[in-house]
Amino acid sequence: MNPSPDVASIAARVQAYFAGRVAAAHAAPPGEIHFDAPLALVAGFSGHLYKKWNARLVSVFADDVRAQTRAFHLYYVFALDALGVFCVLRAPVPGDKLEFPSLANAIPAVDWQEREIQDWFGLKLVGHPNPRRCALHDHWPDVHPLRKDFDLRAPLPPFSGESHKFREVEGEGVFQVPVGPVHAGVIEPGHFLFSVAGEPVLYLQLRLFYTHKATEKLFEAMPVTHGVRLAESISGDSSFAHATAFCHAIERAAGVEPPPRARALRAVCLELERVYNHIADIGAIATDVGFAVANMLAMRLKEKVLRTNEQLTGNRLLRGMARLGGVGLDWDAARTSALSSLLAELPPEFESLVDMIENSSSTQDRLQRTGILTPAVARDLGIVGIAGRASGFCHDLRGNFSGRLYERAPFRVPVYQAGDVKHRMQVRVDEVRQSFSIIRHFMDDLPEGAIRAEIGGLPADRTALGWVEGWRGEIFHWVRTAPGNRLARCKIKDPSLQNWPALSHAIPGNIIPDFPVINKSFNLSYSGNDR
């Protein structure tokens, strides 16, 4: 497919700026611009896109292609939000010099992503302000699990050595309070170490990546048809969003677009996933400040959505609905009637929940000015989704990056500047209201026709980016195909990987008893982060 004139113009102007030192790669899927450049130009290329095109760096990852090129490839994915275009830069790392320059001093948002590359691929970071292990813990053996020559089934040697050393606390009357890594309740592990002087928290240190599941490695050599089920397992509360992002990537690699009816049904399911998670979070935030009655009402409303999900798709978490080329199940009159009933009953009950919380002065006192993440810090860290929009980030992939899908269901991106728990809750409230409207628009004008398009055989060594605005924030899946309709690489970017560092900036100055509600207002996924 030929790029649009706008995309072609952007590519030509970037190439002209670098006077031929950057090459435009061919066969980029629509809405993507691919460039090749040496490592030495990565910093300059990033700076140019930031200044000239108001770009932001959304993903950095590596691919082991030594068998074909005797090198690793680094990929830098930039979003040109105003234009609805992704710019992908590929830079080789020669096999005889396994190191690459860090961008973290200029773009703090890449911190964990660069360190993941160092851990997974054994490429040394040069110039990073904190090049310690991130994804691999300190006592892990010296292995690099995403190299092609790493056998996932090979037993690892015994783990030995010291565990992670946190920054030592200093000063009279200052002490440290550990929380985790094992927590009460059915949640995954994460270690939070507070340094406290009296009641206020001085700083918070995080240690995650306890439950690495080798998901990206499992995608390798997997038939693409099996990948949908694996994508659903990345983060349980975002099953449909991750599966859809994976399908989107494969469809773009194949040059296939799902039929209009399938795209509309996908959009409705994404909004249902958004609604049940946002309502659950609103109730959980209320619980963490002692307002249990509001949480009980929220859980009742969430249960209504989950039961409707099951009527519509056969699964409460919408698993099995996303399929390559479209969706797995059409909706007959009985199913659409069930959804209509939900849309009639749920909004007034949701407004009762919101009124209950807004009219509770003690609840509002606990939420306002608690856990502030300033817009400046959010911008530097690249915070996305709910947390980003509560701190001034005015972007949503359902807008410029959805093609024409949401033109029939217009919506407003709720953006606030306060960046506290109250406004992270308010973003959820606003988005639930708009999700009701979006679902109605799609169901009132649901296209007729097929629900799936045939993907057919995928050409080998084809790359493509897939994306979805999940309820937590933007989700990316990048794929490179292999012979035999299989995958050579699948890179997963869950919004939690981008947003977890924000906690360290939102906690200082608050008291430890406020940590649960601040943490819940972000509600980040351990599983999506650890993958």
Domain chopping of the chain, boundaries: 5-126, 174-207, 215-447+461-530
Residue given tokens 């406004």 in the structure block: 423
Query: What are 193-231's pLDDT values in tens digits?
Result: 999 988 899 999 999 998 888 899 999 988 899 999 999
Q: Residue 221's pLDDT is what?
A: 81
The CATH number given to 215-447+461-530 is 1.10.645.10
pLDDT higher than threshold 70 for residue 29: yes
> 229 CB contacts (<8 Å, ≥6 apart)?
none
- Please tell me whether residue 71 adopts helix, strand or coil conformation: strand
Contact 31, 85 (CB under 8 A): yes
CA distance 484 to 461: 11
Among 169-173, 237-241, 377-381, 468-472, name the one with the lowest average pLDDT: 169-173
Angle, in degrees to the nearest 10, between helices 260-287 and 421-444: 150
CA distance 191 to 179: 6
Q: Residue 508's pLDDT is what?
A: 95
Residue given tokens 């783990």 in the structure block: 159
Contact 331, 266 (CB under 8 A): no
Query: What are 335-369's pLDDT values in tens digits?
Result: 999 999 999 999 999 999 999 999 999 999 999 99
> 153 CB contacts (<8 Å, ≥6 apart)?
none
Q: Residue 26's pLDDT is what?
A: 65
Angle, in degrees to the nearest 10, between helices 292-313 and 260-287: 160
What average pLDDT does the segment 41-67 reach? 95
Residue 173 tokens read as: 């009357």
Query: What are 39-49's pLDDT values in tens digits?
Result: 999 999 999 99
Phi and psi of 57, rounded to 5°? -85, 115
What's the topology of domain 5-126? Beta Polymerase; domain 2 (3.30.460)
Q: What's the predicted TM-score (pTM) here?
A: 0.95
Query: What are 242-291's pLDDT values in tens digits?
Result: 999 999 999 999 999 999 999 999 999 999 999 999 999 999 999 999 99
> 196 CB contacts (<8 Å, ≥6 apart)?
174, 175, 176, 177, 202, 512
Helical segments of 87-194, H only:
111-121
pLDDT over 90, % of the chain:
79
Q: Residue 410's pLDDT is what?
A: 84
Cα 236 to Cα 296, 303, 365, 522, distances in angstroms? 22, 16, 32, 17
Q: How confident is the model at residue 24 (pLDDT cuts 50, 70, 90)?
A: confident
Q: Are strands 99-101 and 124-126 parallel, antiparallel or unpaired?
A: parallel
Query: How many residues in total does the chain contain?
Result: 531
User: 380-407: string of b/e by CB count within 10 Å (b at 16+)?
Assistant: ebbbbbbbbbbbbbebbbbbbbbeeebe
CA distance 404 to 407: 5
pLDDT higher than threshold 90 for residue 30: no
**DSSP, residue by residue, 319-376:** TT-EETTEES----HHHHHHHHHHHHHHHHHHHHHHHHHHT-HHHHHHHTTSS---HH
| The residue type at 198 | G
> 134 CB contacts (<8 Å, ≥6 apart)?
112, 115, 116, 118, 119, 209
CA distance 272 to 438: 10
pLDDT higher than threshold 90 for residue 170: no
DSSP-derived letter for residue 129 is S
| The residue type at 527 | S
